Amino acid sequence: MGSDHSQDHGHKDTNPTLIGSVQRALRLVEAMYAEGGATAKRLSRITGIPLPTVYHLLRTLSHEGYVQRESGAFRLADDLPLAS
């Protein structure tokens, strides 16, 4: 993550503006992918994201079709709504 992004999209900015909520959502997606599914509490523990924030992010990811809840565990949806 700490790599220099100065060549990305032709930007010369060495300190790009990053959106923390997007970063946290991606950490959750990565954790669910690695774990194959996990409870919100476990996702909070392994990502370091506070539990209330995990619930908000999971609710949003679920609403958008990226996450499914199954027996109390959250996992990536079988058919991710990615552009084809």
CA distance 47 to 51: 10
The band of 6, judged by pLDDT with boundaries at 50, 70 and 90, is very low
Structure tokens given for 62: 């679920």
Distances (CA, A) of 5 to 18, 48, 71: 11, 25, 40
Q: What is the pLDDT of residues 7-52, one digit of tens each?
A: 455 556 677 899 999 999 999 999 999 999 999 999 999 999 999 9
**pTM for the structure as a whole:** 0.77
